[in-house]
Amino acid sequence: MDSDSEFPLYLTQDDPDPEYSSSVLHTPPAVTYTNLVGPSHSKAKTLRREPSALVDCHRILTKTFGHADYKGKQREIVEAAVRGADIFVLAPTGMGKSLCFQVPAVAEPHGITIVVSPLLALMKDQVAGLCEKDIPVVSLTSETSAIEKRNIVRDLSSGHPVNRLLYITPEKLCTADFLNMLTKTYEQKELNRLVVDEAHCIAEWGHDFRAEYRKLGLFRRKFEDIPIMALTATATPSVQLDIIRSLGMSEEHLVKVIHPFNRANLFYEVRYMAAPNPASQMADIADYIFTLYQRRERPSSGIVYCRTRASCDELSGYLRGKGLAARPYHRGIPAATLDKTLKEWSRGGAGKGGVDVVCATIAFGLGIDKGDVRYVIHYDLPKSLEGYYQETGRAGRDGSPSKCILYYSREDVVRVKRWVSSSHTKRTNAAEKTDGPAPSQRAMDSLSSLVQFAESTDICRHVAICRYFGEPIDMAVQEVVRKYCNKMCDICKYPEKTKRRHKNLSSEEYAATQVPAHVPRPDDDDDDRPPRAGPSRANSTMANKNNDTWTRNFRDNEVQSNHKRSRPEQGENQLSRYKKSKVGSSSATPSYGNKPLVTKPFRSAMNLKKPFKTPFLTPAVAVDQPPEVEVEVVEEERVSSPVLPDEDDVEIDVDVRRSSRPSSPVDLPDAEISLDVSFSQKIEATLRHEALTAIRKALHKVLLRGSDIEEMWGYLGKAHADSDARASLLNDAAHALEFSVHSMCSTASGYGRRTEGTVDAVRFLSKHWGGIVSPGVQQDDEDEWEDARAVVEALKEVCARS
């Protein structure tokens, strides 16, 4: 596949939208996946219509939607649409799938396009966006008023509808009354297309609580010549076939567009927990968010996915008590409050007010167009690998590096497996009625694949995901593997550390004893269905109680009743309201200025040496930013924490020009001194040359003048290399290490600290070489050993290339 013809994975600095382009940190180069053989789409044998509206479509794209041109395969999809093809589109979140049906719908000279969407939040967001562009669009849901419903019915019954798009739930579409109402529109040739957005719901959800998705094939049987477009971001090959079959899509008229699954800018990490403790887990999440804010010197947008509404409420209340702009999002909260949360979150994350963190069930996020989400955290284990992939895909849609953290315990695995298994009879019966595949087995298979993904400490996270979705990847071909992951997951970046932490998980036998045999099904909001008519008195009482709680929760200076925390004023600027803070205090708020950040000594705070590193991504040209803040660690009572990474995002001030210890001078041989990405202006060239020289001197002293040099060069495979050859290799290694430091920093002060850490890691080799290259050796300070191993890996790569 030609990479320039695919949906782009990253925005470029030339992007016409400054709101997005200004937020791009690094833009990785375009990647062609040579292992994906053959065309990325199949062509229909025949098409129903002639391409008479392409010029109109391009005009709508530019004038109405404000885009300069199509991206990737959007043009091919739109062309197939105006010619009447059935179209199946599989592309990751953020690839512009909605435009593929919105542009043709608006460009048609007359008629209406029916859009089936699974979630109310998704429909609200898209309808609001289209209304802002003065496009005639309506939605028919449980929240549509009686007056609006009458207007919609009158418009459709006329046979010549004025509205160009109608968003509708599958429950409404599949009713006999609605299908009969469409008949007159169809007879007048004003029914243009059926669009099924988030089409994976047919296979993933249809057998459980969205049986109506399995009934969408009724549309094709009633209106057999009306084109159908199905779009999704998550579908294995078997699910793709299930979607096409269920919708009755025509093989003769079918066009398939499949985009590569890899999201190269996301850093995947699994945090292993034994006998998880909610208090310590919430503390760790707060710790991670605070250190991220401190490193970026401003708030960042994020999502924390929780399985239950209670967890959303508890976690968001906890984070608010720590001074974070966090809100819950689930169907137990009034719709008006949810709309307010969504609007405030959409403008949050930039230090200008709003909501920065949403603690949500999986009902949140589908179709949300926000590019600067810097992290997605899974508080619990999701129920499927498809769900995990789609939810993490809401991070980093602007192409900038973002982090995806999954909290994983075997106790939680037992709990989720019992939930999935308990629905076996119900799902099987539903599948038999609709002549579908065995959904319960598919659900268990997907959950098992997710567990295997989390349990693995050998297979790259990116590769594991793409393999699951059917991409053929040979782990033996390192060139292909590196295209999928350039140290952008915990397994590839910290292999030994990840394996050690995995060993702290509870045994499967012990975990099974910690979970009750009967586990109630959670209120996880998968469906976002309108509530069934006539709730019981008990349920009504409980719902009113919950609503009362969250009515109080959203008043000024008041939070959940069991917490005594003050809530920051909404109108106050984020940066100013976080001044003079102590992270460990529930009454204070964090600071991003030059004042010290005080944090409780959670596990990561005891080792606050380096921030999360964005490895080996080509840096964008940037100006110097304010110096990074110093960190004062206050010795308070330790809070018990699960086994978690301690590579979080706080740096300690170090000057690269300062010699931390006396050493004998080293005369460096003459060599070409050229800097990688020398065009970058974020770090002064003079400082970079000094750093490169310091790293070269350390390498030469340890590997050319040390006592164990022959053992070292033997391990590196260069035992017979002469001194000149070794000096040349060390020069190349110094360049590689300096470039790594440069890629991981955005300020001069941070660059200096990382350089000093790299020099110390090189010196560390002379004292602990045997332990560094021998697996399983116990260490007191994991960070020093990991840094030293990273230097050895860089040396091995350089020597292997020579």
Least confident of 250-254, 605-609, 702-706: 605-609
pLDDT tens-digit readout, 144-176: 899 999 999 999 999 899 999 999 998 889 888
Question: How many other C-beta atoms lie within 10 A of the C-beta of residue 609?
Answer: 19
- Residues 197 and 318 reside in one and the same domain: no
CB contact burial 59-85 (16+ within 10 A = b; e otherwise): ebbeebbebeebebbbbbbbbbbbbbb
- Residues 104 and 144 reside in one and the same domain: yes
Compute the average pLDDT of residues 422-437: 64
d(CA 781, CA 774): 16
- Residues 174 and 197 reside in one and the same domain: yes
Question: What pLDDT, on a 0 to 100 scale, did the predictor assign at position 782?
Answer: 67
pLDDT tens-digit readout, 65-85: 999 999 888 999 999 999 999
- Residues 206 and 294 reside in one and the same domain: no
Q: What percentage of the chain has pLDDT greater than the value 70? A: 68
Spatial CB neighbours of 33, under 8 Å, sequence gap ≥ 6: 1, 260, 262, 471, 480, 483, 484
Residue 424 has pLDDT above 70, yes or no: no
Would you say residue 667 lies in a domain? Answer: no
Least confident of 206-220, 395-409, 631-645: 631-645
For the chain, first and last CA: distance in Å? 31
Among candidate residues 523, 547, 577, the one where a domain is terminated: 577
Residue 302 has pLDDT above 90, yes or no: yes
- Residues 206 and 316 reside in one and the same domain: no
Residue 796 has pLDDT above 70, yes or no: yes
Would you say residue 9 lies in a domain? Answer: no
Compute the average pLDDT of residues 622-641: 39
d(CA 674, CA 197): 51
Spatial CB neighbours of 623, under 8 Å, sequence gap ≥ 6: 681, 682
Would you say residue 566 lies in a domain? Answer: yes
Least confident of 81-85, 441-445, 577-581, 680-684: 577-581
- Residues 747 and 789 reside in one and the same domain: yes
**Number of domains comprising the chain:** 3
Least confident of 12-21, 401-410, 743-752: 12-21
Residue 407 has pLDDT above 70, yes or no: yes
Would you say residue 675 lies in a domain? Answer: no
d(CA 522, CA 310): 9
Would you say residue 648 lies in a domain? Answer: no
CA atoms within a 13 Å half-sphere pointing along the CA-CB vector of 133:
18
Beta bridge partners of 375: 302, 403
- Residues 365 and 248 reside in one and the same domain: no
Strands 41-42 and 254-258: antiparallel
pLDDT winner (highest mean) among 349-363, 678-692, 696-710:
696-710
Among candidate residues 258, 287, 319, the one where a domain is terminated: 258
Question: What pLDDT, on a 0 to 100 scale, did the predictor assign at position 103?
Answer: 96
Output the CA torsion sign for 381, 383, 389, 390: negative
Q: What angle do the packed helices 723-743 and 782-801 form, to 10 degrees?
A: 120
Residue among 460, 447, 448, 457 nearest 503 (CA): 457
Residue 801: pLDDT band by 50, 70, 90 thresholds?
confident
- Residues 237 and 280 reside in one and the same domain: no
Q: Which comes out higher in pLDDT, residue 660 or 736?
A: 736
Least confident of 171-180, 304-313, 462-471: 171-180
- Residues 231 and 373 reside in one and the same domain: no
Question: What pLDDT, on a 0 to 100 scale, did the predictor assign at position 545?
Answer: 42
- Residues 217 and 285 reside in one and the same domain: no
Question: What pLDDT, on a 0 to 100 scale, did the predictor assign at position 59?
Answer: 92
Among candidate residues 258, 288, 318, the one where a domain is terminated: 258
d(CA 89, CA 229): 8
d(CA 453, CA 388): 11
Report residue 383 as tokens: 């129920």
CA atoms within a 13 Å half-sphere pointing along the CA-CB vector of 596:
8
Report residue 369 as tokens: 């167009």
DSSP 8-state symbol, 252: T
Residue 239 has pLDDT above 70, yes or no: yes
Compute the average pLDDT of residues 199-214: 65
**What range defines the domain where residue 730 resides?**
685-801
Question: What pLDDT, on a 0 to 100 scale, did the predictor assign at position 329?
Answer: 93
Q: Which residue has the tokens 């020597």?
A: 799
Q: What is the CATH number of the domain that holds 159?
A: 3.40.50.300
Question: What pLDDT, on a 0 to 100 scale, did the predictor assign at position 268?
Answer: 98
Question: What pLDDT, on a 0 to 100 scale, did the predictor assign at position 524?
Answer: 53
- Residues 182 and 295 reside in one and the same domain: no
The per-residue pLDDT of the chain, averaged, comes to: 76
What are the residue ranges of helices labelled H in 260-395?
A: 278-296, 309-321, 335-346, 385-392
pLDDT tens-digit readout, 503-555: 999 999 999 888 887 666 665 554 444 333 333 333 333 334 444 434 434 43
Question: What pLDDT, on a 0 to 100 scale, did the predictor assign at position 352?
Answer: 67
Q: Which comes out higher in pLDDT, residue 123 or 320?
A: 320
Query: Do 459 and 498 contact (CB within 8 A), yes or no?
Result: no
DSSP per-residue letters across 94-142: TS-HHHHHHHHHHHSSS-EEEEE-S-HHHHHHHHHHHHHTT--EEEEST
pTM: 0.60
Query: Do 120 and 94 contact (CB within 8 A), yes or no?
Result: no
Least confident of 111-125, 142-156, 639-653, 752-766: 639-653
Residue 432: pLDDT band by 50, 70, 90 thresholds?
low
CA atoms within a 13 Å half-sphere pointing along the CA-CB vector of 669:
14
Beta bridge partners of 86: 254
* Maximum C-alpha span of the chain: 91
Residue 770 has pLDDT above 60, yes or no: yes
- Residues 209 and 289 reside in one and the same domain: no
Residue 751: pLDDT band by 50, 70, 90 thresholds?
confident
Compute the average pLDDT of residues 795-801: 86
Write the burial class of residue 706 (CB in 10 Å: 0-12 exposed, 13-18 middle, 19+ buried). middle
Q: In what order do the strands lie in the sheet with 254-258?
A: 41-42, 254-258, 86-90, 228-232, 191-196, 112-116, 165-168, 137-140
Residue 596 has pLDDT above 80, yes or no: no
Say whether 664 sits in a helix, a strand or coil: coil
Least confident of 84-93, 351-360, 555-564, 660-669: 555-564
